[in-house]
Structure 1
Amino acid sequence: MSTEYIKIKNHINGAWLDESNGQYEPLRNPSTGHVIGEVPLSSPATSREATAAAAAAYPGWSAMPLPKRMDFIFKMHRAMQDNLEMLAQSIAIDQAKHIAEARGEVGRVIEILQMACTIPALIQGDTVQAIANNINGRLIKAPLGVFCGVAPFNFPALVFGWFIPFAIGTGNTFVYKPSTESPLFMQKMMQLLCDTGLPDGVVNIVHGDREVVEAWYEDDNVAGVCLVGSTPTAKAIGEGCGRGGKKTMLLGGAKNFLAAMEDAPMDLLIENILMSGYGSAGQRCLAVSNIAVVPEIYDDFLARLLEASRKITLGDAMDPDIFMGPVISASARKRIHDYIDIGLAEGATLALDGRNPQLPEANRDGYFVGPTVFTDVTPCMRIAQEEIFGPVLNIIKVGCIDGALRMIRNHPLGNGACIFTQNSFYTEKFINEADVGMVGVNVGICAPHPYLPFGGIKGSLVGNNKVQGKDAIDFFTQSKVATIRVVDPRGLAPAAATTTDSSVRSCVAS
């Protein structure tokens, strides 16, 4: 992929546009810290221009026969298959996700699109016959209008897949705000959508900060807003949309737990913690953070984890020979360093310090934090309570499975938790009692397959709807009920209203 200067643009009503207010901020490659382009900071007026374009496109798009709409979902699927490497490289350049993980992210979106291709089966309605004499009842799932979506920096492709295919496949139109820190994927993806012949205005892109989003709250063109982000941001959007009567699907923050039992398969456990805790530099909503370990294996586990963590290689996200790339920005690195200081001040032991990792010369100015491991952590410490969003692991000794479940239950967030065990009693107990939205057994990242809904509970979800699966269909549609009386055009009375068998037979004979 070319490394030429990248000028990100808005895309409204089929046209690539510069921001009219002329405000831009630099786009950096986190692997090097170098400026590689610029991103517009759009005005509220630009935001409303995009929603107006989506509203204008809605009548024609929603009236389009379902098979023709689905043609575009199939074309989208094929376009992503044919351009997987290009799309993955776009993620590795500005988001600095390791190229292998970026390929995996695009691959998962392709699977999500396969699921979206089942929309015709999932939006089928219901009919109740004969609810009264010659009266039937029918329920249909109908689109609502214009939806808007906000994406975080860490999964630019995945969140696109969670929102846009389901929204437009069910007949809505869309305005999408990518993160200003990782906009390149959507720039490439939008061009692919244009190449499929998608009608103008069906999907629009507006870049910027919260002013873009706040413009949607009182915008009569907007039916609903969806977000993947932090819990405070989700609550702020939920409050704003509540005032404006908008439908919302808001996924918030996470603090994920892993319980390691005495019979845990140790090699598998360590391998999964490395991928879950250090993959994407810990910048995942399902990254493992708090690891609860029983005394029987604690010493062996810790020794093996530290040994494996010290072998993690860091460097440019495009280098296939390294394991972990940088965090997204200098401010993200500082925040993680601050949490390490907080952990030390709270009395935790820094068993492995990732603040000064060894780096290739070309990446010395990048935003890197190495694997970091705290021991002697207690559940009430801030590092155990707050989302750090970096490659920092907290090791917490617990007496048994009940201690691990108690910590999970008492935590205000409830995104994901997993257990490593070969004991079926532990497995079933954990599945039933772990107070989270997504549970894993002997897997470090408990991300559901696209056929199933993705999302947490408690403070990790503001509202009710989750992404992907049937939950996505329910969010992007409304249930409409029709009550239908059938009247005989010949003026004959309904059969059920006749009083004798002979009169019924006479009606049928005539």
Structure 2
Amino acid sequence: MSSQYIKIKNHINGEWLDESNGQYEPLKNPSTGAVIGEVPLSSAETSRQAVAAAAEAFPEWSAMPLPKRMDFIFKMHRAMVDNHEMLAEAIAVDQAKHIAEARGEVGRVIEILQMACSIPALMQGETIQGIANNINGRVIKAPLGVFCGVAPFNFPALVFGWFIPFAIGTGNTFVYKPSTESPLFMQRMMDLIVETGLPKGVVNIVHGDRDTVEAWYDDENVTGICLVGSTPTAKSIAAGAGKHGKKTMLLGGAKNFLLAMEDAPMDLLIENVLMSGYGSAGQRCLAVSNIAVVEEIYDEFIERLLEASKNLTVGDAMDPDVFMGPVISAKAKERIHHYIDLGIEAGAKLALDGRNPDLPEANRDGYFVGPTVFTDVTPCMPIAKDEIFGPVLSIMKVGCINGGLRMIRNHEMGNGACIFTQNSYYTEKFINEADVGMIGVNVGVCAPHPYLPFGGIKGSLVGNNKVQGKDAIDFFTQNKVATIRTVDPKAGQPAAAKKDSSVRSCVAG
């Protein structure tokens, strides 16, 4: 990846544009703290300009035959395959996800695009014959118009995959706002999209803060708004968009549980806790945070976990020899430190302190927090209740599976939960009773395959719509129902038909 200064631009109606208001904020590399570029803070006027471009493109794009629209999805897939490493490096530079994990994120989006290629099959409607004499019914799935999406910093590629291919594949147009902290992936991806020949205005990119998003609420051209972010942000968008009748798909925050039973395969358990809890520096919505361990293996688990955690290396996201990169910003680092202080004040035992990890000289101004482990945690403590979004694990002792399930049930978030066991009774009980949207068995990150819906419940999802799979098709389309009478052109209209009660009943109401 070039060290050249990066100037992020908006992409509206097929053109790369500087922000007209001249307002930019610095783009930093979290691994070093160095300023590497600048990101526009677009005005509400610029945001509405992007929507207008999408609205203008919608009629022609939605009328395009489905196979031709799908050609562009196939081309996007090929472009990502051919540019896998370049896109991964873009994520590792400004989001500072470890390069191995960045490659994995791009790989998952390639799988999502493969799934999006099945849109024609998933858009098939329904037909019912013989509602009445010579009358049939049909349901078709039709596009709605302009959708807008807001991405978080932690998965710039994944959220693109969740939103844009499904929206445009079903015939809509899109305005996308990446995070100002990790905009580089979308800049690179948009270059590739342009090379596919996608008509101008179908996908537009606008950067900015809340003013950019709030401009969508009362814009009559906007049909719906999508978000992956925090629960407070999701609720704010729900209120603003709902007031003006917009559809929303809003994934909020998380506090994920892992329950370790007495028969848990210990080597597999430790390996998965390390990857889930510390991977992406704990900055993912399915990172394990609260770990409930039955008392039979509690001491052994803590001993094994601490030994493994102490041996993990922390450093530059581009260094393949380190395990964990930095958190996204100085503000995020400060917030995590604050929660570590709160954990100590609440009476938890800080068994491993990650506040001052050993770092190479070049990374000492970066935003690093090392693996951190609290033991003797209770569910009422802030570190067990709040989403910390960092590499901080809270270990709690439980007597049995019911104790772990009770903790999950009582938490206001309901994103994901995992169980480690070899017992089929425990497995089925956990699947049935864990009050979350996504469940894992002997896996540390319970992310569903792209064929299946992704999303939580309770405080982790505002509304009902989830991303991926058929859920995405349902969100980005509307059901149109046709009632069709077939008439023999040679027969005319018999007078008796006026008295046919079945005809009257089918048009009642």
> Could you tell me which residue of structure 2 aligns to residue 403 of structure 1?
403
Residue equivalent to 1:345: 345
Identify the residue that residue 199 of structure 1 maps to in structure 2.
199
Q: Does 1:434 align with 2:434?
A: yes
Matches of 2:233 and 2:455, distance apart in 1: 16
- The CA deviation string for residues 53-106 of structure 1, in whole angstroms up to 9 with x for no partner, is 000000000000000000000000000000000000000000000000000000
Q: Which residue of 1 aligns with 2:87?
A: 87
Q: Give the secondary-structure state (helix, strand or coil) at the position aligned to 2:354.
A: coil
Mapped partners of 1:295, 1:153: distance in 2: 38
Equivalent in the alignment of 1:454: 454
Q: What per-residue deviation string (whole Å, max 9, x for no partner) do you get for residues 251-274 of structure 1?
A: 000000000000000000000000
Amino-acid identity (%): 84
Distance in 2 (CA, whole Å) between partners of 1:476 and 1:3 is: 39
What is the match of residue 294 of structure 1? 294
CA distance in 2, matches of 1:488, 1:451: 44
CA distance in 2, matches of 1:381, 1:435: 20
User: Aligned letter for 2:486?
Assistant: V
Q: Render the CA deviation track for 1:332-378: whole Å, top value 9, x for unaligned.
A: 00000000000011111100000000001100000000000001100
Q: Distance in 2 between matches of 1:390 and 1:167?
A: 31
Shift of 1:26: 0.0
Q: Which residue of 2 aligns with 1:469?
A: 469
Query: Quick one: which amino acid aligns to residue 223 of structure 1?
Result: T
In the alignment, residue 91 of structure 1 is paired with which amino acid?
I
SS of the residue 1:277 aligns to: helix
The Cα of 1:487 is off from its aligned counterpart by 1.5
Note the alpha carbon deviations across 1:211-249, whole angstroms, 9 max, x for none: 000000000010000000000000000000000100000
- Name the structure 1 match of 2:55: 55
How do 1:310-459 and structure 2 match up within 5 A? Answer: 310-459=310-459
Amino acid at match of 1:309: S
Aligned counterpart, 1:130: 130
Aligned to 1:147: 147
Q: Counterpart of 1:465 in 2: which secondary structure?
A: coil
* Mean Cα deviation higher: 104-113 or 127-136: 127-136
Distance 2:461 2:59 in 1: 32
For 1:483, the equivalent position in structure 2 comes to: 483
Q: Which runs of 4+ in 1 moved over 2 A?
A: 491-494
Residues 449-484 of structure 1, C-alpha deviations (whole Å, 9 max, x = no match): 000000000000000010000000000000000111
Alignment TM-score, normalising by the size of structure 1: 0.97
Output the amino acid matched with 1:184.
Answer: L
Distance 1:35 1:332 in 2: 17
Distance 1:205 1:111 in 2: 23
Aligned residue number for residue 183 of structure 1: 183
Question: Aligned partners of 1:288, 1:411: CA distance in 2, in Å?
Answer: 14
CA displacement 1:143-177 (0-9 Å, x = unmatched): 00000000000000000000000000000000000
State how 1:123-272 maps to structure 2 within 5 Å.
Answer: 123-272=123-272
The Cα of 1:493 is off from its aligned counterpart by: 5.8
Residue type at the aligned position of 2:270: I
Counterparts of 1:453 and 1:125, CA distance in 2 = 20
Q: Which moved more, 1:156-165 or 1:478-487?
A: 478-487
Unaligned runs of 5+ in 1: 498-510
Report deviation, 1:490: 1.0
Structure 2: stretches of 5+ with no match in the other structure: 498-509
Secondary structure of the corresponding residue to residue 296 of structure 1: coil
Q: CA deviation at 1:491?
A: 2.7
Which string of whole-angstrom CA distances, capped at 9 and with x for unpartnered residues, describes residues 102-161 of structure 1?
000000000000000000000001111110111110000000000000000000000000
SS at match of 1:337: helix
Q: Indicate yes or no: 2:44 matched with 1:44.
A: yes
Query: SS of the residue aligned with 2:297?
Result: helix
Corresponding pairs, count: 497
Secondary structure, counterpart of 1:488 in structure 2: coil
CA distance in 1, matches of 2:22, 2:295: 60
**Residue type of the alignment partner of 1:365:** D
Give the aligned partner of residue 279 of structure 2.
Answer: 279
CA distance in 2, matches of 1:297, 1:79: 48
> In structure 2, the residue corresponding to 1:314 is in which secondary structure?
coil
Question: What's the offset of the Cα at 1:492?
Answer: 4.4
Larger mean CA deviation between 135-144 and 481-490 belongs to 481-490
Q: Which amino acid aligns with 2:348?
A: A
Between the aligned partners of 1:454 and 1:10, the Cα distance in structure 2 is 29
What is the CA–CA distance in structure 2 between the aligned matches of 1:371 and 1:310, rounded to whole Å?
7
- Distance in structure 1 (CA, Å) of the matches to 2:22 and 2:401: 57
Q: After TM superposition, give the deviation of residue 203 of structure 1 in Å.
A: 0.1
Higher alpha-carbon deviation: 125-134 or 398-407: 125-134
Distance 2:345 2:299 in 1: 24
Q: Does 1:97 align with 2:65?
A: no
Which residue of 1 is the match for residue 31 of structure 2? 31
- Alignment RMSD: 1.0
Partner of 1:75: 75
1:365-415 deviations in Å (ceiling 9; x for gaps):
000000000011000111100000000000000000000000000000000
Letter in 1 for 2:359: L
- Partners in 2 of 1:339 and 1:203 — Cα distance? 39
Instruction: Report the Cα distance in structure 1 between the residues aligned to 2:481 and 2:300, rounded to whole angstroms.
Output: 61
3-state SS of the aligned residue for 1:62?
helix
Amino acid at match of 1:177: K
Letter in 2 for 1:197: G
Aligned counterparts of 2:264 and 2:125: Cα–Cα separation in 1: 46
Measure the CA separation in 2 of the matches of 1:348 and 1:39.
Answer: 40
SS in 1 for 2:464: coil
Which one-letter code corresponds to 1:372 in the other structure? Answer: T
